[in-house]
Amino acid sequence: AQSVAQPEDQVNVAEGNPLTVKCTYSVSGNPYLFWYVQYPNRGLQFLLKYITGDNLVKGSYGFEAEFNKSQTSFHLKKPSALVSDSALYFCAVRDYMDSNYQLIWGAGTKLIIKP
């Protein structure tokens, strides 16, 4: 079965600095990978996905993610952090189980951007 790991419970970054939120995965076959963001007291919002093609994927709010097959990683990045980026970030991989596709989620990483 597929799995996703987010090794950091929390990441602290100063405003204006680059940020990275880490995600590693374990899959059989080609992975379909996703990042979602959850702002306080809100539902999750889709940020970006990797299906195939270019290893650098661009998404919403200036975020991007780099797919690295050899390191089985899909780290989320942003060149210059904003205080408003503070939120909970989830990495997910699509799995095929019981004749249906399902998302397998990481535990989440809390991103704190300090002014």
Partner 1 sequence: NAGVTQTPKFQVLKTGQSMTLQCAQDMNHEYMSWYRQDPGMGLRLIHYSVGAGITDQGEVPNGYNVSRSTTEDFPLRLLSAAPSQTSVYFCAASPSATSYEQYFGPGTRLTVT
Rounded least distance, CB 108 to partner 1, Å: 6
Residue of 10, 45, 68, 84 that binds partner 1 (CB under 8 A): 45
Residue among 51, 56, 83, 112 that touches partner 1 (CB under 8 A): 51
Residue type, 73: S
The owner of tokens 């076959």 is 29
Binding site for partner 1 (CB under 8 A): 4, 9, 32, 34, 41-46, 49, 51, 90, 94, 98, 100-103, 105-108
